[in-house]
């Protein structure tokens, strides 16, 4: 049936390194040197080869490179199950950094509660020979994961709410400072009975945010009874439940700081259900500045941390040496969060 031995169905089969070598009159190793900017070679040779590459539109085959190098040009995004918007913003940041490079982004959700989690990640890294991974909180807080990455010789960057690792492996926001600023804002408005809805135990971000809150109160000489602290799980529903318990207090707190926007939205929801006017009878501050914060009524005062920029920085830390695009401007490791003032905070009623 087949007439030609190589029926190359489509127009001009992609050129290989051999084609380039032949056209340029050099060996393929020399072409490889041009591609990888490795070794030393004569300017004339380089230019000649670069010209041929340009003319033919040659692009090295990533699969072959991956095989020969024992390392793929893929960046992994390993995360558990946090906020959807956060994951997506992170993806956006990483992808911005990867744009116009040879790297691609591979997404990998894992189950923190599964005992196989570490093995899953290991086989993922090893099998795909990932170039590097970005670890999102909360699993980024697990030191075992970081050690695993080193063990399998995979670059990694951990995202977090505080510095957990050296700058090469860490991109952090300074949540503590941001929470202090937010709490001071409430205090400055005149609030003294301020409730806290914390994040789940075991989360570094939850701990850090709570620390900041308590620090700001202590700083102002305000006593914080245990009853004003309600446990939350970073979910909308847990925010509602925590708010209910706070609302039952006598007297009620005049302001609530929720450790993320989801829970803050829950507080708002619960307040509406009880007919508590916000911000007149109750001020609310959230954290994250997710889209929902600006969409509820009143829009939430919250803390914004630059997720997209952090994602970009994380990716650049990983691919930085591979792409000599930027000179040597070290990517920042710490990003500052800012208080976004909207309508959910007002002075307490007399």
Query: How far, in Å, CA of 224 to CA of 210, rounded?
Result: 12
Query: How far, in Å, CA of 335 to CA of 50, rounded?
Result: 40
Query: How far, in Å, CA of 163 to CA of 334, rounded?
Result: 8
Query: How far, in Å, CA of 124 to CA of 99, rounded?
Result: 23
- Residue closer to a second copy, measured from CB, 269 or 335: 269
Applying CB under 7 A, which of residues 26, 243, 284, 303 lies at the interface with DNA?
Answer: 26
- Residue closer to a second copy, measured from CB, 184 or 304: 304
Stretch that binds DNA, among 43-51, 132-140, 233-241, 308-316 (CB under 7 A): 43-51
- Residue closer to DNA, measured from CB, 45 or 334: 45
Query: How far, in Å, CA of 255 to CA of 348, rounded?
Result: 8
Query: Could you tell me the two tokens for 224?
Result: 């914080």
Q: How far is the CB of 322 from DNA (least distance, A)?
A: 12
**How many residues belong to the site for DNA (CB under 7 A)?**
32
| 35 near DNA (CB under 7 A) | yes
Q: How far is the CB of 214 from a second copy (least distance, A)?
A: 28
C-alpha distances out from residue 204 to 134, 140, 164, 176, 287, Å: 17, 10, 9, 11, 15
Applying CB under 7 A, which of residues 4, 7, 10, 44 lies at the interface with DNA?
Answer: 44
- Residue closer to DNA, measured from CB, 8 or 226: 8
- Residue closer to DNA, measured from CB, 35 or 276: 35
Q: How far is the CB of 239 from a second copy (least distance, A)?
A: 10
- Which of a second copy, DNA, none does residue 175 bind (CB under 5 to 8 Å by kind)? none
Query: How far, in Å, CA of 171 to CA of 332, rounded?
Result: 8
C-alpha distances out from residue 195 to 42, 119, 224, 290, Å: 70, 41, 9, 21
Give the residues lining the site for DNA (CB under 7 A). 14, 16-18, 25-33, 35-36, 38-42, 44-46, 58, 60-61, 64-65, 67-70
């Amino acid at each position: 049936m087949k007439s030609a031995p190589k029926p190359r169905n489509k127009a001009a089969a992609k050129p290989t390194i051999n084609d380039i070598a032949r056209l340029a009159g050099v060996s393929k190793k020399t072409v490889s040197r041009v591609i990888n900017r490795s070794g030393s070679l004569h300017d004339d040779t380089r230019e000649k080869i670069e010209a041929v590459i340009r003319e033919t539109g040659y692009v090295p085959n990533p699969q072959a490179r991956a095989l020969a190098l024992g390392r793929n040009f893929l960046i992994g995004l390993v995360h558990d199950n946090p906020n959807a918007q956060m994951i997506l913003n992170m993806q956006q940041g990483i992808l911005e950094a990867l744009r116009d490079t040879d790297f691609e982004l591979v997404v990998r959700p894992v189950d923190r509660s599964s005992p196989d989690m570490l093995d899953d990640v290991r086989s993922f890294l090893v099998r795909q020979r990932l170039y590097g991974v970005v670890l999102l909180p909360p699993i980024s807080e697990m030191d075992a994961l970081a050690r695993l990455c080193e063990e399998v010789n995979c670059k990694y960057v951990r995202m977090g709410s505080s510095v957990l690792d050296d700058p090469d492996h860490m991109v952090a926001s300074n949540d503590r400072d941001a929470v202090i600023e937010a709490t001071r804002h409430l205090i400055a408005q005149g609030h003294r009975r301020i409730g806290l809805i914390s994040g789940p135990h075991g989360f570094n971000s939850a701990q850090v945010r709570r620390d900041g809150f308590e620090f700001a109160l202590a700083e102002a000489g305000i006593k914080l009874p245990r009853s004003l602290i309600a446990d939350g799980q970073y979910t909308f529903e847990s925010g509602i439940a925590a708010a209910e318990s706070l609302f039952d207090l006598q007297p009620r707190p005049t302001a609530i700081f929720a450790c993320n926007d989801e829970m803050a939205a829950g507080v708002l929801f619960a307040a509406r259900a009880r007919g508590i006017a916000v911000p007149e009878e109750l001020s609310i501050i959230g954290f994250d500045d997710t889209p929902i914060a600006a969409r509820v009524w009143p829009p939430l005062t919250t803390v914004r941390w630059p997720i997209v920029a952090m994602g970009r920085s994380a990716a650049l830390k990983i691919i930085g040496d591979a792409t000599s695009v930027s000179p040597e401007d070290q990517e920042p490791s710490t990003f500052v969060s800012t208080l976004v003032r909207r309508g959910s905070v007002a002075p307490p009623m007399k």
